[in-house]
Amino acid sequence: MVAFNLNFKNKFEIDTAGTLDPTVTTGATFVTIAKGIQTVTPAPGDTTDNTPYYDGQGFSQTDRTGINFSLAFAGNRVEGDPAQDFIVSKEFALGDEAKTLLRWTKTDGTVIIAQVSLTAITASGGAANAKQTFSFTANFNGLPAVTTPPAG
């Protein structure tokens, strides 16, 4: 029998102190991004180089040369939730003011801490007879700090 991990076992946290260095988190205040969130969609935007060589008989070799990684969160607005309120406070922020740390603990125990820019923040909207919508994208800035659990 195959056991599948359930998505809700991933834990996402945002730093409400606005710390920017993913390798030094002593001043960070992480709060959980979960209340009201229905979906999280990772988007690994790869940059590739496709180069044909004479010995490839007309076929190219593809090399991954860069990554523009992001996580898109969507759900319903929960006013009073520390994570959502912090993110909404950045709705009109630019530059470093829209940056903070995000910590993602995967189901296998791997911890990823990345500096992110908060973009596409939607703090409300939807049909008159529906819950308010809430969504944002966390765009990774540079290489994240990744800690893998010890082999068991």
What pLDDT score was predicted for residue 78? Answer: 97
Average pLDDT value for residue range 30-59: 94
Chain segment 52-89, per-residue pLDDT in tens: 999 999 899 999 999 999 999 999 999 999 999 999 99
Predicted local distance difference test score (pLDDT) of residue 64:
93
As a whole number, mean pLDDT of residues 16-40 equals 95
Which pTM value belongs to this model?
A: 0.91
| 91-133 pLDDT per residue, tens | 999 999 999 999 999 999 999 999 999 999 999 998 899 899 9
pLDDT average, residue stretch 140-152: 90
User: How do beta strands 11-15 and 145-147 pair?
Assistant: unpaired
**Secondary structure string (H, E, C) spanning the chain:** CCCCCCHHHCEEEEECCCCCCCCCCCCCCEEECCCCEEEEEEEEEEEEEEEECHHHCCCEEEEEEEEEEEEEEEEECCCCCHHHHHHHCCCCCCHHHHEEEEEEECCCCCEEEEEEEEEEEECCCCCCCCCCEEEEEEEECCCCEEECCCCC
The reported pLDDT for the residue numbered 152 is 66
Rounded to whole angstroms, how far apart are CA atoms 16 and 42? 21
Which residues pair with residue 37 across a beta bridge?
Answer: 75
The predicted structure's pLDDT at residue 148: 92
Contact 36, 81 (CB under 8 A): yes
pLDDT at 149: 86
Radius of gyration of the chain (CA): 18
Distance of alpha carbon 57 from alpha carbon 49, whole angstroms: 18
Dist. CA 23–CA 16, nearest whole Å = 17
Q: What is the CATH number of domain 8-147?
A: 2.40.30
Please give the share of the chain, as a percent, with pLDDT higher than 70: 99
